[in-house]
Amino acid sequence: MTIRAITALRDLRRWALGHAALLLFCSLAAHVLTVAVTRPDILDLRVYWTAAPQVLSGQLYDFRLFTSGAFPALPFTYPPFAALLLLPVSALPWVVAACLWQAVSVGALAVIVGCAGRLLPGGGLGRQRIMLWVGGALWLEPVRHTLDLGQVNLVLGALVLWGLTAAREPVSRGAAVGVAAGVKLTPAVSGAYLLLTRQWRAAAWAVAVFLGTVALAWALTARESSRYWRTLIADPDRIGRVSSVLNQSLRGALSRSLGQDVGFGPVWLAAALALAALAGWALWAAARRRDPLAVLVTVQLTGLVLCPISWSHHWVWFLPAMIWLAHGPGRRSLPSRTALGAWAVVTAARVVPRLTRLQEGLAGGSAVVAGGGFPAHLALLGWVYVLCSVLTLLAVGAAAPPEQAPVPAEPRAPGPPSGGIDLTWT
């Protein structure tokens, strides 16, 4: 890159920071206009809104929302506790519920950005950068998909990150993770972050609160709780087709490439062990640097890759990953810049929705792989989120630790601030 190009980029960055509020306003206005003109189906919110009252009649998991899309019969797939929490939403008129959900989700996006910044070494992005990240993230695929479907992912991500950064007491930090896991099981992986950062009491509270959500729902709706925890939880096919390109998990990617659901067989196990080894190296490097955001990003991305079903809208944790890649200790390294560029291209170009339309259009063609519904020569593109995650883990592991300051003659090891988080990893 020439000196002139570097200077132009620096000038553009200064201009953007100086006009961050205006750019955020324009992005929000464009979002509102887009929703008003395109009128997205918001199907998942409609499932929540319609199905939640069924938890009181014992027919929650018999419910289906019939559509004309790729998923013609949408069930309620979350634990019964989620339906109980969604009852107030169901009591609202549909238009009010949809508008309120959009507003809350956009607010949650701001919380995710701000709280992720607080976990950066040195802490904080600054108000202007937060506004720029929020304005830009509105148009990146996992966020856009979550908003278009009325999904709960942004709200749960904000709850987890708020608990891990803003809550001062272990009970509050653990409760945030426990409640999020009680609503939707995928946030439960956040408990690994509490263990890795040695927040033992918060981790215990997370388990206790999660079990409390199960017990409360069981007390109020025993039949539905029994059906969910004893039968439905072990059936990923009920959630959707594993080989769908919307499923950006390792199992989904392998199944599309091999033409059949690989399950948890030897192929998946070998790939999962390799990924676990890479994640372990990244966690060791992040702990050595005292880099909590890198630890959290590694935990979340690894959980998404190893989960049997990780729809593209589950991947809102790509945003904290991009924030670390752009502002973390390895931001100037080639691995970080490569991973950041990969995430930006894949999410801004909406690769997964484009592949989804191809998969749906070619599902009956002769060139598709058996069971995958996708052309074999395009199957590699269906790995995009898995590959971006691998690049991110490589960047986390390769980032150099900060230079150590000279040790004073009589060092005094301070404890964590009152109610704060101990990230010593000694």
Could you give phi then psi for residue 170, rounded to 5 degrees?
A: -55, -35
Q: Which residues contact 95 (CB under 8 A, 6 or more apart)?
A: none
Give the chain's residues under pLDDT 70: 1, 69-71, 236-237, 360-377, 402-426
pTM: 0.89
> 242 by DSSP, 3-state: which?
coil
**Torsion 345-347-352-357 (CA) sign:** negative
- Cα–Cα distance for residue pair 199/3, rounded to 1 Å: 47
> Tell me: the pLDDT tens digits for 26-52?
999 999 999 999 888 899 999 999 999
Which tokens sit at 297? 């990003």
pLDDT of residue 370: 39
pLDDT of residue 401: 74
Report the chain's mean pLDDT, rounded to a whole number: 87
pLDDT of residue 167: 78
Torsion angle defined by CA atoms of residues 117, 123, 127 and 131, in that order, rounded to the nearest 10 degrees: -10
Distances (CA, A) of 99 to 63, 74, 148: 24, 22, 12
Could you give phi then psi for residue 406, rounded to 5 degrees?
A: -60, 140
Smallest Cα–Cα separation from 97: which of 112, 87, 109?
87
Mode of pairing for the β-strands spanning 65-66 and 73-74: antiparallel
Q: E-assigned strands of 44-138?
A: 65-66, 73-74
Beta bridge partners of 375: 368
Q: E-assigned strands of 195-293?
A: none
pLDDT of residue 237: 66
Amino acid found at 178? G
- Cα–Cα distance for residue pair 278/122, rounded to 1 Å: 26
pLDDT of residue 53: 93
- Tell me the three-class secondary structure of 134-169, residue by residue: HHHHCCCHHHHHHHHHCCCHHHHHHHHHHHHHCCCC
- Cα–Cα distance for residue pair 413/404, rounded to 1 Å: 15
Q: Are 140 and 348 in contact (CB under 8 A)?
A: yes
Q: Are 31 and 138 in contact (CB under 8 A)?
A: yes
pLDDT of residue 70: 62
